[in-house]
Amino acid sequence: MRRTGAVYRSLRRAMIERNGSPSINAGGAKAPALRAVDVDYDHRHFVNLVAAAFVLLLAMLSVWAIKTIDEQEALRKCVSSGRKDCIRILAPPNGPVQPVR
């Protein structure tokens, strides 16, 4: 005895009762056509755009966090090895600073 046919028929009956028409067209002559479903494509595009922006933001934050952790690890290794020139001090781009007159 195969239960898959019975399960399929019960699910199909439940869909017909809920929607008023079957949602699966078996291709038979008596099978009703699928009902048209209204889809708001503008909202769907907006949601996809927001999701893509969020994923991009997460990727950028991940790269920043990985670089920061790597820099901290390099600094820790430098300091633990006993060196004193671990942090770079940047000079002004145009030479020494001139006093204001």
- What total of structural domains would you count in the chain? 2
Q: Is the dihedral of CA 79, 83, 84, 87 positive or negative?
A: negative
| Residue-level pLDDT at 69 | 97
Average pLDDT on 59-71 reads 97
Examine residue 43 and state whether it is found in any structural domain, yes or no: yes
Instruction: Clarify whether residues 43 and 24 are in a common domain.
Output: no
Report the C-alpha gap between 80 and 88 in whole angstroms: 17
Residue environment code for 51-71, b if the CB has 16+ CB neighbours within 10 A, otherwise e: eeeeeeeeeeeeeeeeeeeee
Expressed as residue numbers, the domain containing 45 is: 39-82
Counting residues of the chain whose pLDDT is more than 90, the rounded percentage is: 39
Examine residue 47 and state whether it is found in any structural domain, yes or no: yes
Q: Which residue has the higher pLDDT, 14 or 81?
A: 81
Instruction: Clarify whether residues 53 and 32 are in a common domain.
Output: no
Cα-Cα end-to-end distance for the chain: 101
Q: Which residue has the higher pLDDT, 26 or 60?
A: 60
Instruction: Clarify whether residues 22 and 57 are in a common domain.
Output: no
Examine residue 15 and state whether it is found in any structural domain, yes or no: yes
Scan for tokens 């769907």, then name that residue: 44
Examine residue 76 and state whether it is found in any structural domain, yes or no: yes
Q: Residue 69 is encoded by which pair of tokens? A: 């952790």
Examine residue 77 and state whether it is found in any structural domain, yes or no: yes
Q: Which residue has the higher pLDDT, 22 or 84?
A: 84
Instruction: Clarify whether residues 31 and 45 are in a common domain.
Output: no
